[in-house]
Structure 1
């Protein structure tokens, strides 16, 4: 259920961003800034300020201005601003994973009974029992992972896209031989690979059951990066590539520095306060073994006949 909600959320964000980019691409032929009811204000309040910011940073690197380095600087600043939030969410997610592992036997019992439930009343009662289990043990239904970092970056994606598309100088600029205004397959593939590597590193140290649950979610980020970069200027792909490299660094810090500490903290907490038993263990009552009834043996006809014959012989004597 949690995984389905996350997939719907990420899928919705991906759809919105794709529709936005495809709508903006209709004006690429004449390269005129949008003036419509929806995209005009977005360009005015996001795209235009981003153009000025990129140009100002690019001029700091000499003449001619280096717009590629300006995009990388912006990526670094955005990631540094989001770093405390992302680390906080990573810590929460790790704590939730450890608590989930502690209540796993009870969850297995609930899931088994959910599959075997026949009526809606039974399913409702079992779902209520699962919610009580989560609540009493301080486990979040969302697993501690939110979409806030992606939501915060959506305006930056839009601003960067519009800045590159509608600034003629920025559109024609190059960085290490790559045209920032044109789509670039190499940048797209590299950006996608960084998020695949980041997803793989995030699975290190997790139990197999949790790895299976998270694999689908780990594929969402590379898929979104690939399709968005493929439909966008290389400048936006460069933003994703740099962001992916920083995400790998963040994941390494989380997995190899924070995770062992958090695991030890949660283990100590569980020693002092063991998981609350919400699911009642099913006790199988063993019926006492009943002694088999003694069945009276039926008299044998042959033996009766034999007895009568022996009696006759004895009488004749």
Structure 2
């Protein structure tokens, strides 16, 4: 649950940044480069260098320059640079998923007792037991999933957006009949579908108990990609589409090369070092209430009664 909330938070941040940039620019008409306090430096340090890079690469594909192929080449370079990091993250995620599956009976037992706990002391003790069980068995609370590749691509995304929006040559150019400076529904749909395919491929080989949780997270990336591509220039949608195709190849490499080796390695490690049961901590007893001290009322002398008793003895 915490992992899902964190990923949703990063996705929301990414979407908010996109909407902010979309609101401040117009993808239907070319505009002058920004000079304000916020967007001026972003354009100067990101958009303008990317504009020069796209123009230089476009000239490599002939005359007139082909800006569409230049964007595809930049996408390939970015994905190749990030490939070692992404593969390392995929390996870490798969390892964590298989280790978590090995201690699933212990985790299920703790979660059942958490649902039945009634006192804060019991809930706190069970939370400590859950964290200790995962720590002792080498399972991370985040499951090995990180958002570093997405965060690294944010500057590239911003640079491409501004380079296309504020360069008259790139904005008015076409690629396969698609205007790179205008929004395009077809490109947005293709970009979203590539990440749908990549998401389903990422579920191959996962334990059944984890597929339901991963399906919810899997749909976040295609929806977010489609929405951003829908409100952005088609040139940026082309970047997402090409990146999705490369992500599919990356997932295939992970599934058919890394996954069998990771499964065998985790199985060998668990055979050598079986899952460690963690001693159940006893919750701290609730403080006992202090007994109430009852003080006896002071005896009051009854002189009248004693005098009457004396009189009765005198008459006898």
What is the TM-score of this pair, normalised by structure 2?
0.86
Contact kept, 8 Å, 1:21 with 1:231, in 2: the verdict is no
RMSD of aligned residue pairs (Cα, Å): 1.4
Partner of 1:4: 4
Contact kept, 8 Å, 2:15 with 2:224, in 1: the verdict is no
How is 1:98-113 mapped onto 2 (pairs within 5 angstroms)? 98-113=98-113
How is 1:146-295 mapped onto 2 (pairs within 5 angstroms)? 146-278=146-278
Partner of 1:311: none
Q: CA offsets per residue over residues 197-251 of structure 1, 9 Å max, x none?
A: 0000000111211000111110110011011000100000000000000000000
Contact kept, 8 Å, 2:46 with 2:158, in 1: the verdict is yes
Q: CA offsets per residue over residues 244-296 of structure 1, 9 Å max, x none?
A: 0000000011011100001100100111111110165xxxxxxxxxxxxxxxx
Distance 1:130 1:122 in 2: 12
Distance 2:87 2:4 in 1: 24
Q: Secondary structure at the match of 2:85?
A: helix
Q: Secondary structure at the match of 2:228?
A: helix
Distance 1:116 1:4 in 2: 24
Distance 1:110 1:100 in 2: 14
Distance 1:227 1:185 in 2: 10
- Runs (4+) of structure 1 exceeding 6 A deviation are none
Partner of 2:58: 58
**Count of residues in correspondence between the two structures:** 280
| Structure 1, unpaired ranges of 5+ | 281-317
Distance 1:21 1:207 in 2: 40
Distance 1:253 1:265 in 2: 17
Partner of 1:307: none
Name the CA shift for 1:279/1:243 in 2 (closer, same or farther; >3 Å). farther
